C-alpha cells in the first residue's frame, strides 16, 4: 500500500468527527454503506451472492446470470474455470451497480443434511480453498471486492443465529479454517464475512481467536471484516475483536449513543474506532469509489460469453455415477426414430438453491428444453410428472371474493394489538399469502385477510398454514388452525421452505365459506429473527383432494413402458434445499414420492437413467435397479443444455465428486452430532468427529458404508496412471510426477489426485489427505506426464501442544489415484526429523 494511499486516508480520518466515524461503522440500508459527502466519503454497494450478482431485489428484481453452484464448480476440479467464473461474476456485479460481491461461500460440507452445502465447494479444505482462491482472484483482478464467507464453521442452518459449536483448535485449523487460510494467502480477499454461529461459546463476530489471533495475526491479513446480515451481537466486543462493518443498516448495535457510552466507560477506545474506519475507507479505495463515487442503476446484460462459460462449467461439473452396459451416451444417430420418456422434474430447471444464492435468472433451460434442442425431431419425447414434489400447498386464490365484491381478499394492517382501526386496507388482494418484503410497511403490524370462498368441488380438501409470528385461521367463525408461537427461523419463511402440516376440512360445492386469517409479527422484540425481527409474514395453502391424491406414478409407468429409454429427473427445488434450514431427510422429497417413481419406472424399463439435481448426497434405494445415474447438482441457467450435452455425448463427463457419498445417513461421520442438542434454550453441537470429516472418516471404516467415494466419477472413456515419482525440492515442497494414459476410444478428461499419508498408520491422523490435483484432457490413446507440486504444509497436522503445524519424522506415502478408493500407484519419501512449520 503506497504512501499516497495512506496519507489520503489519514487526512480523511483526521477530518471526520467522532459522530461521522461512528456513522461509518454500519450500513446505510440493506446493501449500501454510509456516505459522508461533506468529507468526500462515498457509499459503496454490496450484492449477493456466490453464484450470481442478484442486485437489490430479493423477489423478482433485475435479471442476472445464474452460474453453477459452488459444489458443481468444485466437481470440475478445474481452478482455471474458477478464475473465469470470478471474472464473469465481477462483470455481473458491475451491472448491478455494486462494487462488493458477497461470496464465495467456502465452509466445509460437514453433514449431508446441511441446508447450505450447495453454496460451498467441498468436504475437503484443500479443494475448497484452491478453487475459492481462484474465484477471489478473478473477481478482484476486475476491481470487484470478494467477500469470503462465513468465517467460520457455518456448517448448519438449524438455529444458526445462536448455535454454539464446540470444535478443537486442531479441527478448526486443519478443516474449517484452512479453506479461508488458502484463499487469504493465495488471493488476498479484500473482505471477510463473519458467521452467525458461536464457536466455543463466543459469537463469530466478536471472536478474538478467529479475528485477532488467526485472521489478522497468524495470517497477517489486512482487509475489511463485515458481519453476516443481522449477525452483529454486541457493540464494544465486536468492535474490539475486529468487526469493521455491521450489516445491514440501519444499525442495531452501533448507534451513536451506544458507541459513545462504550468509549466513555473505557470498554472501547477511539483508536479502535479509527482502525475500524480505516479498514472501511481502504475498501472504498480498493474498489475505486473515491475516484468514481456514483452508484449506477441496475442493468440486465445477458452476455453470450457468460452463457458459454456457464454451460462449459456445468458440463465439466456433472458427474456420471453409474453407466451399466454403457447405456450412455444416447448419441443422436443411435436413438433416431426412438421414443424416450422424460419423467419427474424434466420440465423444471433446477438451477440454484434457495436463499442468498437465488436470483432472477436471465433465462432457465429445463432438461426438456435442452434435450428437445439437442435431438430435434429425430427423437419423440414423452413426458409425465410421476411424483408430487411440492413442499407447500399453493396459496388459496381462486373462487375468492372480498367484502367489496372484488375477486380476491380484503387485506387490513393494524397497529400491533389494535384491531379496531386499520392503518392500511386493500381490496382485491390476490392470494392467502403475505411476504415481509412484499411492498408494505408491515413491521410490528398485525394483519388480517378476509374472503368468501366458494369451492368448485365437494370433498375433504387440504389446508396448510404457517406464519412468522402467531397466526390463526377461522372458517365460518370456527378456529381451524392456530400457530401460537414464532417460527424458528423467519428467513426460512421468507425463502419459502417452511415445512407445514397439512390437515383436511370438509367443503361442499357451491357453498360460501367465510375465511379469516389473522397474524402477528414475531413477539417480544429483541433479536429474534435477526434482520427480519418484527416483520410480518404468513400464508394459507389449499388444494382440492382430487388433485392432492392424484396417482401420478401410474402415468409415468405407462410412459416408460412404451419408450426405449426412460430418464427420470429427480432433485430438490429451492424450497427443499435452502438457506435458513437444514434438510429434513436424506431421502428425496416429497415423502418418498421421487424414490417410488424411480423404483416403479425401473421395474418396467431396463434402460432407466436417473439425473439428480441436488447440492448434496442423497439416499439411492433404487441404485441397483437403474442403468445409469448422473449427478447434475445445481448447474446454473444453462442446466438443460449442459445435461443434454452429457446425455447425448456432445460432452464427455469429467466431473468428480467433491464430497463423499454415504449409503445411509447413519454412516455420516457427524451423525449423532448434527444439528446438536438443546439445553436451557441453547443449542450446542459437538464436533466429535474432529478432523475425521468426509473421506478422512470413510478411509477408516468399511467400504460398505460408501455409495461413491470422494473424487469418484465415470467417463465415456477410461484412464490409467503409472510410473509415479516424488522428490523433495526447497522450502518444504515436493515435486511429484505420474504418467496418465487415455486407454479408451474417446477423448476426455480425468483428475489426477495426489494423497499423502503415513506409511505407518496412526489412529490420531487421517490415513491420507488430499495434497494436490490436476485435471488433464487427453485424446484417445494419448499419454502424458503430469507434474504436481505438493506443499508439506498440506499434509502436516496442527499440534495443539506447541501451537504449530508439524510433520513427524518417518516414511510418507504419496498415493496417486482417480478417487480415494482408486489408488493406482504410489511413491514413498522419508522425513528424517520432526519438522515445525510456521503459522
Is residue 85 within a helix (H) or strand (E), and if so which, with residue range?
A: helix 79-95
Question: C-alpha angle 817/822/825, rounded to 5°?
Answer: 45
Between CA 772 and CA 830 the distance in angstroms is 19
CB 204 within 8 Å of CB 163: no
What are the start-end ranges of the E strands in 185-256?
191-194, 198-199, 202-203, 224-226
8 Å CB contact between 686 and 166: yes
241 CB neighbour count, 10 Å cutoff = 23
SS3 state of residue 198:
strand
Closest CA to 367 of 602, 578, 630: 630
H helical segments located in 149-247? 169-171, 178-187, 208, 236-241
CA distances from 478 to 279, 456, 474, 515, 826 (A): 59, 21, 5, 9, 73
CB 204, CB 193: distance < 8 Å = no
In this structure, the strands spanning 202-203 and 191-194 are: unpaired
The answer to whether 60 touches 437, Cβ cutoff 8 Å, is no
Q: What would the DSSP string read from start to end of 671-694? A: TTSSS-EEETTEEEEE-TTTT--T
CA atoms of 579 and 670, how far apart (whole Å): 20
Cα–Cα distance, 668 to 117 (Å, whole number): 15
Q: What is the Cα–Cα distance from 328 to 313, expressed in whole angstroms?
A: 20
* Residue 170 contacts residue 207 (beta carbons within 8 Å): no
Spatial contact of 327 and 368, defined as CB atoms under 8 Å apart: no
| Buried-exposed string 439-450: b where 16+ CB fall within 10 A, e elsewhere | ebebebbbbbbb
Q: Which helix (H) or strand (E) holds 724?
A: strand 719-728
C-alpha R_g of the chain: 28
Secondary structure letter of residue 206 according to DSSP: G
What is d(CA 285, CA 278) in angstroms, rounded to the nearest whole number? 10
342/370 Cα distance (integer angstroms): 12
Grid cell, residue 228, equals 453476516
- Residue 80 CA to residue 133 CA, distance in Å, equals 11
Annotated catalytic residue 228 = yes
CA end-to-end span of the chain, whole Å? 23
Label residue 545 exposed, middle or buried (CB < 10 Å: 0-12, 13-18, 19+): middle
105 conformational bin, left if phi > 0, alpha if psi -120 to 50, beta if neither: beta
- Which is the catalytic residue, given 228, 489, 699, 794? 228
Q: How many residues does the chain have?
A: 839
Strand partners, 32: 45
Distance (Å, whole) CA 751 – CA 774: 6
Distance CA 710, CA 834 (A): 30
Rounded CA gap, 383 and 346, in Å?
A: 8
Is 677 within 8 Å of 684 (Cβ atoms)? yes
* The three three-digit cell numbers of residue 399, written as one number: 373462487
Q: How far apart are CA 562 and CA 583, in angstroms?
A: 36
3-class SS of residue 80: helix
The catalytic residues are 228
Amino acid at each position: 500500500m503506497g504512501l499516497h494511499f495512506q496519507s489520503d486516508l489519514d487526512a480523511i480520518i483526521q477530518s471526520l468527527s467522532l459522530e461521522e466515524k461512528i456513522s461509518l461503522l454500519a450500513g446505510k440500508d440493506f446493501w449500501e454503506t454510509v456516505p459522508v459527502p461533506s468529507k468526500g466519503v462515498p457509499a459503496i454497494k454490496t450484492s449477493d451472492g456466490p453464484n450470481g450478482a442478484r442486485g437489490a431485489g430479493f423477489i423478482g428484481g433485475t435479471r442476472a446470470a445464474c452460474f453453477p453452484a459452488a459444489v458443481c464448480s468444485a466437481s470440475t476440479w478445474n481452478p482455471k474455470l474458477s478464475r473465469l467464473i470470478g471474472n464473469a461474476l465481477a462483470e455481473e456485479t458491475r451491472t448491478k451497480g455494486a462494487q462488493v460481491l458477497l461470496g464465495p461461500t467456502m465452509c466445509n460440507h460437514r453433514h449431508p443434511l446441511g441446508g447450505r452445502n450447495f453454496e460451498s465447494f467441498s468436504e475437503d479444505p484443500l479443494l475448497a480453498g484452491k478453487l475459492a482462491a481462484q474465484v477471489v482472484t478473478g473477481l478482484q483482478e476486475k476491481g470487484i471486492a470478494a467477500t469470503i464467507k462465513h468465517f467460520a464453521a457455518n456448517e448448519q442452518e438449524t438455529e444458526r443465529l445462536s448455535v454454539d459449536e464446540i470444535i478443537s483448535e486442531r479441527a478448526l485449523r486443519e478443516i474449517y479454517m484452512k479453506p479461508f487460510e488458502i484463499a487469504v494467502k493465495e488471493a488476498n480477499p479484500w473482505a471477510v464475512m463473519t458467521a452467525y454461529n458461536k464457536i466455543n461459546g463466543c459469537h463469530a463476530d466478536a471472536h478474538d481467536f478467529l479475528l485477532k489471533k488467526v485472521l489478522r495475526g497468524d495470517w497477517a491479513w489486512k482487509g475489511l471484516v463485515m458481519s453476516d446480515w443481522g449477525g452483529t451481537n454486541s457493540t464494544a466486543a465486536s468492535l474490539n475483536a475486529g468487526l469493521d462493518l455491521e450489516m445491514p443498516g440501519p444499525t442495531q448495535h452501533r448507534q451513536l449513543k451506544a458507541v459513545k457510552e462504550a468509549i466513555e466507560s473505557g470498554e472501547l477506545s477511539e483508536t479502535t474506532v479509527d482502525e475500524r474506519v480505516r479498514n472501511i475507507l481502504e475498501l472504498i479505495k480498493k474498489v475505486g469509489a473515491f475516484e468514481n463515487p456514483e452508484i449506477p442503476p441496475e442493468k440486465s446484460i445477458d452476455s453470450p460469453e457468460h452463457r458459454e462459460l456457464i454451460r462449459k462449467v456445468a458440463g465439466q461439473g456433472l458427474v456420471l455415477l453409474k453407466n451399466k452396459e454403457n447405456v450412455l451416451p444416447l448419441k443422436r444417430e443411435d436413438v433416431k426414430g426412438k421414443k424416450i420418456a422424460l419423467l419427474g422434474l424434466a420440465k423444471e430447471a433446477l438451477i440454484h438453491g434457495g436463499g442468498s444464492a437465488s436470483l432472477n435468472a436471465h433465462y432457465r433451460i429445463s432438461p426438456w428444453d435442452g434435450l428437445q434442442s439437442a435431438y430435434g425431431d429425430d427423437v419423440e419425447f414423452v413426458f409425465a410428472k410421476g411424483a408430487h414434489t411440492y413442499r407447500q400447498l399453493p396459496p388459496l386464490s381462486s373462487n375468492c371474493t372480498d367484502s367489496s365484491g372484488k375477486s380476491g381478499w380484503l387485506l387490513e394492517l393494524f397497529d400491533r394489538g389494535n384491531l379496531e382501526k386499520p392503518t392500511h386496507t386493500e381490496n382485491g388482494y390476490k392470494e392467502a399469502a403475505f411476504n415481509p418484503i412484499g411492498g408494505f410497511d408491515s413491521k410490528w403490524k398485525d394483519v388480517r385477510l378476509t374472503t368468501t370462498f366458494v369451492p368448485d368441488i365437494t370433498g375433504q380438501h387440504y389446508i396448510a398454514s404457517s406464519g412468522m409470528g402467531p397466526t390463526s385461521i377461522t372458517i365460518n367463525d370456527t378456529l381451524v388452525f392456530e400457530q401460537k408461537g414464532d417460527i424458528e427461523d423467519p428467513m426460512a419463511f421468507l425463502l419459502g421452505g417452511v415445512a407445514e402440516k397439512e390437515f383436511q376440512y370438509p367443503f361442499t360445492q357451491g357453498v360460501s365459506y367465510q375465511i379469516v386469517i389473522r397474524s402477528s409479527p414475531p413477539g417480544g422484540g429483541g433479536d429474534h429473527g435477526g434482520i427480519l425481527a418484527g416483520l410480518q409474514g404468513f400464508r394459507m395453502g389449499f388444494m382440492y383432494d382430487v388433485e392432492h391424491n392424484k396417482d401420478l406414478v401410474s402415468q409415468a409407468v405407462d410412459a416408460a413402458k412404451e419408450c426405449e429409454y426412460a430418464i427420470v429427473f429427480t432433485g430438490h427445488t429451492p424450497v427443499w434445499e435452502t438457506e435458513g434450514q437444514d434438510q429434513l431427510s436424506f431421502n428425496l422429497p416429497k415423502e418418498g414420492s421421487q424414490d417410488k417413481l424411480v423404483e416403479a419406472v425401473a421395474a418396467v424399463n431396463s434402460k432407466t437413467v436417473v439425473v439428480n439435481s441436488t447440492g448434496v448426497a442423497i439416499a439411492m434405494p433404487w441404485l441397483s435397479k437403474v442403468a445409469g445415474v448422473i449427478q447434475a447438482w445445481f448447474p446454473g441457467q444453462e442446466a438443460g443444455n449442459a445435461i443434454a450435452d452429457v446425455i447425448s455425448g456432445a460432452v464427455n463427463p469429467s466431473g468428480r465428486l467433491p464430497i463423499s457419498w454415504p449409503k445411509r445417513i447413519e454412516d455420516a461421520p457427524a451423525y449423532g452430532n448434527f444439528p446438536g442438542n438443546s439445553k436451557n434454550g441453547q443449542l450446542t453441537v459437538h464436533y466429535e468427529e474432529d478432523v475425521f470429516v468426509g473421506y478422512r472418516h470413510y478411509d477408516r471404516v468399511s467400504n460398505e458404508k460408501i455409495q461413491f467415494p470422494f473424487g469418484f466419477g465415470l467417463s465415456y472413456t477410461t484412464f490409467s496412471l503409472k510410473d509415479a515419482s516424488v522428490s523433495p525440492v526447497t522450502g518444504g515442497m515436493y515435486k511429484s510426477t505420474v504418467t496418465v494414459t487415455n486407454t479408451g476410444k474417446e477423448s476426455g478428461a480425468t483428475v489426477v489426485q495426489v494423497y499423502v499419508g503415513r506409511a505407518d498408520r496412526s489412529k490420531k491422523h487421517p490415513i491420507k489427505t488430499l495434497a494436490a490435483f490436476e485435471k488433464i484432457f487427453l485424446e484417445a490413446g494419448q499419454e502424458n506426464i503430469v507434474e504436481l507440486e505438493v506443499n508439506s504444509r498440506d499434509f502436516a497436522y496442527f499440534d495443539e501442544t506447541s501451537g504449530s503445524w508439524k510433520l513427524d519424522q518417518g516414511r510418507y506415502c504419496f498415493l496417486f489415484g482417480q478417487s480415494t478408493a482408486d489408488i493406482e500407484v504410489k511413491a514413498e519419501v522419508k522425513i528424517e526429523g520432526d519438522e515445525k512449520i510456521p503459522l
